[in-house]
Amino acid sequence: MTKEEFLLEVQRISQDMQDLIEKYDQKEEIISLFVTGVIDREQDHDQLRAVYGMHVMSEEELAEVLEFLVDAYLDSEEQNPFGFDISLN
């Protein structure tokens, strides 16, 4: 599988997530922020190619999500090196 094929598959999955949000009429209830990418290592610099999306209603919500992600990263860095977890708080 090439990097391009991988990113196209990620894009398809992200569309499935958007479809799920719409199916359950949760657009006003959901906060979503994601980025999945691949890094192309070049001799003089690295380049990120990514699929990303966000559904936040305001800059304040965006700040809250980013703060949550930083806190989750710092809390789970040693416990979960893959960085995937669930919070039901």
Both structure tokens of 88 = 């039901």
pLDDT at 82 over 70: no
Please give the DSSP secondary-structure letter assigned to residue 78: T
43-47, 50-54, 62-66, 79-83, range with the lowest pLDDT: 79-83
Q: Find out whether 85 and 71 touch, Cβ atoms under 8 Å.
A: no
Tens of pLDDT, residue by residue over 23-37, are 999 988 899 999 999
Q: For the residues 57-74, what does the mean pLDDT come to?
A: 91
Query: Which residue type, as a one-letter code, is found at position 56?
Result: V
Element (H, E) at 47: strand 46-55
pLDDT at position 74 is 85
In the chain, % of residues over pLDDT 70 = 85
Cβ–Cβ contacts within 10 Å for residue 29, how many?
8
Q: Where are the domains of the chain?
A: 3-56
